[in-house]
Amino acid sequence: MSTNRRAALRFLILLSPALLGADAGTDFFEARIRPVLAERCYGCHSSKLREPKADLRLDGPAPTVITPGKPDESKLLKAISYTDFRLRMPPTGKLPDSVIADFTEWVKMGAPDPRTAVTVEARALPPGLDLDRGRRFWAFQPVVATPPPAVKNKLWSKTDSDRFLLAALEAKGLKPAPEADKRSWLRRVTFDLTGLPPTPAEMDAFLAAGNYEAVVDRLLASPHYGERWARHWLDLVRYAETNGHEYDNNKLDAWQYRDYVIRAFNEDLPFNRFVQEHLAGDLLEDQRTSKDGRFLESPIATNFYWFGEVLNSATDSVKSKADNVDNQVDVIAKSFLGLTVACARCHDHKFDPIPTRDYYGLAGIMHSTGMREVVIDSPAQARAIHRAHEAAPATTRNPGRAKIQLRPGETLWEDFTDLTTNAWHQSGEAFATGPRDGVIDSAGRGVNELVGSLTSKKFKMPNHYVHVRLNATKGNGSLVEREPIRLTLVADDYKSIHYMGSGKTPGKFEWISYRMTLPFERQCYFELVDRSRTGAIAVDAIVFSEEKDPPPTIEETPAEWAEPAPQPQLPASTFGMVAWDEAPGNTKLHIRGSHQNLGEEVPRHFLQVISKDGTHPAITGSGRLELANWMTGEAAPLLARVYVNRLWEHHFGDGLVRTADNFGVMGERATNRELLDTLSAKFIAGGWSTKALQREMVLSAAYRMSSKDDPVAAKADPRNDLLHHYPVRRLEAEPIRDAILSVSGSLDKTLYGPSIVPHISEYQNGRGKPKSGPLDGAGRRSIYIEVRRNFLTPLFLAFDYPLPISTIGVRNRSTVPSQALMLMNNEFVLQQAGRWADSLSGTPEPDRIPLMYRQAFGRPPQPAELQEANTFLKDGGTLAGLAHVLFNSPEFIYVQ
């Protein structure tokens, strides 16, 4: 050892008595510790690595995992001791006991370490992630309307958009394709706006009048417009009506959201308001009421947070929650902003100016958001219900008295003397007056028709058994989520255990007991629900216990349970799954995305690159309301661009930005940025009206172009980026099925309501398999077929129906043999061909084939086609067979 070092050490000793004996310590380190670190640890934990595992560098002092002098507090020792199954290092095998003893000894010595600290850049932002530079990226720039450019051809354009497109074509010496014939245009615009084919009568009317504007106005006013465009939106929010995972349980009231979206499109709800309602519909001051005045619209939108996959038995509930939040952040960022923010879960975004902190700023908002099953009646409806039952004759229900003899270690968690102990939140009228005589009763006011819910505070389940003393209408024993009357234990956001009347002791209280196998030590709450206009539930006590059997109970006076007289005049209520602010707080940064390796707490905030000064906003509650304001305020330019691009995509086959869900650096650039920005600026200035923008798009000259490609233009513009012709487009799965129903005369045009259970073939197997619905889906449009995650309809899947996993703004467009097999052999298609043929029985024979062509393709048959079809029939072919052949024609599933 050099004298220099001795001198230095002496100096240190003066300052730090803990380092006494550092010489020996250093020797010990060099002999026993460093070689082991080098051999067994540096491979993953070294500053030489670009991304050391767990962000840990052991080639220098590591204060985060070593607390000098305190072996018990040193995570490194815990890891190498293999005592915690989650943290066992090195992962390839335990170190010899003697080595572990050395490390322990070394830490006790004060972890002497001659190495200099590894300098890791303290970085709020990674190298290359410069917010100011990031803001200069086109997508984060303000939208600016440009005056339409000058064009040579003064006659072609019908809208400003046309002039942008034409100027770009002319710059390349190209011309737009000629105008499409009227039949093609009507078929195109009718499928585009309503998802249905034009009827022969509609075709005749248009051919006679030739009024394009009138057609567009008629279609935009059609209630079927909303059904078509809601489905595009549902692709973005991974809409599903079941949880997936093992049992594919139902998501309650998901269909209410689907109807909300249909209504929003039909009513042309300003898009910025639509977005605000999604993010914070429960918190907005001005709640929007449904057209019939019965219920609140705004909160229904918040159901979209919860359409993700839900585990029914998560063993690691913290991870499971983090995964759900990740899916929420992903969907919000992609759907609204076209950004892949979820990439920043584990590391700063590699391409976009999105640091990990921004991810956890948003994640904190989601972690502060829960979901409740509540009555969403409008104030007026609630008043009407209140008045109606107040006026009704009261029946008394006497719950009686019972003495519960608690055993040692048992807790009477809830005795229902009041609703404050467990902070029950109530909605609806059934529980509105609170408990009486220590019992909460949904028919306590003598009215069975009243509905409502009570939701307790959250708590960590402390015991292995929960006994509930209740007196309730017998449960159906059907799919539990559909049970209308129940006390549900929700564990880790999963409706886990349902306490219901057994039906064994009608009118009397009974104990129902469950073992908390899965909920034990999970975050839980109780939810007392009565959704039924008949039957009721009364709960006397909730006991937490380690005993399998309920506590002994002495009934002092029995319940006197009169069934209340029916009051059918009582107005109905509406239920919804609604977001609420739940224990708002910040989240800690998860280093490398791991919930077991937490970093600093991150204040709830949004994307800094879209925040003017980069400071964090003042947040009250979860932060959803502030998020909604930011999204439609500071982020409005990007929000509008992304949405306008989606509308363009659905009208013209591709977006102006083809990567519709990725406006980041790795996404494509706009093929015509001035056009996109001008449309977006106009959209914002015009009050975010979807219909106004679409009207302009479909009345443009561009939209009226023929789909016939010109060889010269095809060579100059092979991807059709300049839109030199209108693309031939295959219909999506739903319009194909809807067109089949429409043409065959089987379409039931009923709007809205609970979903139709899908038809399940014998080839679809697995857990959670539902009882099959009707083959023809009761004739309802495809949007009303229940989206059962694990049992999606094969016909839909063959035609690129999206899996409900995350935002899918661009569906795949395939041409695969299974489509041919499906249209040739599928039972539904054959059934519909038969029905179509049957529907023509009243049509004179010579008119049948021409009518079929007009129904299916919007045109009469060519003489040759008529002749072939007639020959087919003469040779023993059936009309149903001919119908089947027409379904299989490419012309049926493609739009020109």
Question: Which parts of 664-703 interact with other proteins (CB under 8 A)?
Answer: 664, 666-667
Does 806 engage in binding with other proteins (CB under 8 A)? yes
Query: H or E segment at 768?
Result: none
Question: Binding segment for other proteins among 122-130, 374-382, 574-582, 882-890 (CB under 8 A)?
Answer: 882-890
Q: Say if CB 639 and CB 111 are below 8 A apart.
A: no
CB of 876 to other proteins, least distance (A): 8
CB of 99 to other proteins, least distance (A): 15
Which residue in 317, 341, 429 sits closest to 381, CA to CA?
Answer: 429
Q: Please say which residue, 91 or 409, places its beta carbon nearer to other proteins.
A: 91
HEC profile of 651-701: HHCCCCCCCCCCCCCCCCCCCCHHHHHHHHHHHHHCCCCHHHHHHHHHCCC
Q: Please say which residue, 351 or 459, places its beta carbon nearer to other proteins.
A: 351
How far is it, in rounded angstroms, from Cα 786 to Cα 788? 6
Q: Please say which residue, 272 or 806, places its beta carbon nearer to other proteins.
A: 806
Q: What angle do CA 212, 217, 222 make, to 5 degrees?
A: 125
How far is it, in rounded angstroms, from Cα 630 to Cα 608? 11
Does 796 engage in binding with other proteins (CB under 8 A)? yes
Does 153 engage in binding with other proteins (CB under 8 A)? no
Burial class (CB in 10 A: 0-12, 13-18, 19+), 119: exposed
Q: Please say which residue, 617 or 850, places its beta carbon nearer to other proteins.
A: 850
Q: Please say which residue, 756 or 829, places its beta carbon nearer to other proteins.
A: 829
Cis check: omega of the bond before 90, within 30 degrees of 0: yes
Does 893 engage in binding with other proteins (CB under 8 A)? yes
Q: Please say which residue, 340 or 442, places its beta carbon nearer to other proteins.
A: 340
CB of 798 to other proteins, least distance (A): 4
Does 731 engage in binding with other proteins (CB under 8 A)? no
How far is it, in rounded angstroms, from Cα 870 to Cα 846? 10
From candidates 105, 669, 813, 847, binder to other proteins by CB under 8 A: 813
How far is it, in rounded angstroms, from Cα 307 to Cα 303? 7
Does 460 engage in binding with other proteins (CB under 8 A)? no
From candidates 146, 620, 814, 843, binder to other proteins by CB under 8 A: 814
From candidates 64, 761, 772, 839, binder to other proteins by CB under 8 A: 761
Question: Which parts of 842-881 interact with other proteins (CB under 8 A)?
Answer: 862, 864-865, 868-869, 872, 875-878, 881
At residue 54, the 3 state secondary structure works out as helix
Does 191 engage in binding with other proteins (CB under 8 A)? no
CB of 449 to other proteins, least distance (A): 39
Tokens of 178: 């000629």
Q: Please say which residue, 456 or 662, places its beta carbon nearer to other proteins.
A: 662
Angle between helices 356-367 and 624-631 (to 10 degrees): 130
Question: Which parts of 67-106 interact with other proteins (CB under 8 A)?
Answer: 82-83, 85-86, 88, 91-94
Question: Which parts of 463-522 interact with other proteins (CB under 8 A)?
Answer: 515, 517-518, 520
Write the interaction track for other proteins spanning residues 234-253; mark x where CB under 8 A is met and - where it is not.
----------xxx-x-----
Does 838 engage in binding with other proteins (CB under 8 A)? no
Which residue in 591, 690, 605 sits closest to 640, CA to CA?
Answer: 690
Does 801 engage in binding with other proteins (CB under 8 A)? yes
Q: Please say which residue, 217 or 865, places its beta carbon nearer to other proteins.
A: 865
How far is it, in rounded angstroms, from Cα 269 to Cα 687? 10
Q: Say if CB 187 and CB 858 are below 8 A apart.
A: yes
How far is it, in rounded angstroms, from Cα 424 to Cα 742? 49
CB of 736 to other proteins, least distance (A): 12
Does 826 engage in binding with other proteins (CB under 8 A)? yes
Q: Say if CB 50 and CB 133 are below 8 A apart.
A: no
Query: H or E segment at 588?
Result: strand 587-590
Which residue in 835, 816, 826, 677 sits closest to 759, CA to CA?
Answer: 826
Write the interaction track for other proteins spanning residues 517-546; mark x where CB under 8 A is met and - where it is not.
xx-x--------------------------
Q: How many alpha carbons lie under 13 Å from residue 886 in its C-beta half-sphere?
A: 33
Question: Binding segment for other proteins among 102-110, 289-297, 595-603, 766-774 (CB under 8 A)?
Answer: 766-774
How far is it, in rounded angstroms, from Cα 2 to Cα 655? 71
Tokens of 5: 């070092």
Question: Which parts of 297-336 interact with other proteins (CB under 8 A)?
Answer: 309, 311-316, 323, 334
Q: Please say which residue, 217 or 547, places its beta carbon nearer to other proteins.
A: 547
From candidates 619, 830, 852, 879, binder to other proteins by CB under 8 A: 830
